[in-house]
């Protein structure tokens, strides 16, 4: 069976968004390219419900979770993450966030035998989360709401 990864993405943290900033349509293709989302992978994205249209447009086909408040997306992802189930179905857990709240999930996933990859903005990466990752991938920046040079939406 081919290797599978479950990607859990706190898109607001990953992009460094503040209240009122939109999720750019290019965010989905950018994440897929940077994180290497494969055809057998599961992608779960969380955000504040006020970004519902933007998130669904940027991440077609992804499972979407909604949160409310400053840590709402994080908590929605954490509540849905059953490490035992993940370990039975996947080889890798990819955490698309630099938030320290995910360190315990990363730790438990590694103990359960999963490879843990963190995709984060370098300036937004918690040291304790990074210490629990087998690999850290730097998230590229969106350029004026578009994709970095050389990256297409077909990625």
pLDDT band for position 20 (cuts 50, 70, 90): confident
The pTM (predicted TM-score) of the whole model is 0.90
Q: Which tens digit of pLDDT belongs to each residue from 83-111?
A: 999 999 999 999 999 999 999 999 999 99
* pLDDT: which is higher, 154 or 61: 61
- What are the DSSP calls for the chain, one per residue? ----EEEEEEHHHHHT--TT----TTHHHHHHHHHT--TT-EEEEEEEGGGHHHHHHHSTT-EEEEE-STTHHHHHHHHH--HHHHHHH-SEEEEE---GGGHHHHHHHHHTT-EEEEEE-GGG--HHHHHT-SEEEEPPPPBTTBPPTT--TT-
Percentage, residues of the chain above pLDDT 70: 89
Task: Tell me the domains of the chain and their CATH numbers.
Answer: 5-138 (3.40.50.1010)
pLDDT of residue 94: 98
């Amino acid at each position: 069976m081919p290797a599978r990864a479950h990607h859990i993405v706190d898109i607001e943290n990953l992009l460094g968004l503040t209240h009122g900033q939109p999720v750019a349509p290019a965010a989905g293709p950018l994440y897929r390219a940077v994180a290497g989302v494969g055809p057998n992978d599961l992608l779960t994205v969380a955000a504040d419900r006020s970004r519902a249209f933007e998130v669904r447009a940027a991440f077609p086909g992804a499972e979407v979770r909604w949160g409310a408040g400053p840590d709402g997306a994080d908590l929605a992802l954490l509540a849905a993450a059953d490490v035992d189930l993940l370990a039975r179905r996947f080889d890798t857990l990819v955490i698309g966030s630099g938030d320290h709240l995910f360190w315990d999930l990363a730790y438990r996933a590694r103990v359960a035998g999963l490879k843990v990859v963190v995709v984060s903005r370098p300036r937004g990466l918690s040291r304790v989360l990074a210490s629990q990752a087998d690999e850290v991938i730097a998230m590229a920046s969106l350029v004026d709401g578009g994709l970095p040079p050389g990256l297409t939406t077909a990625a």
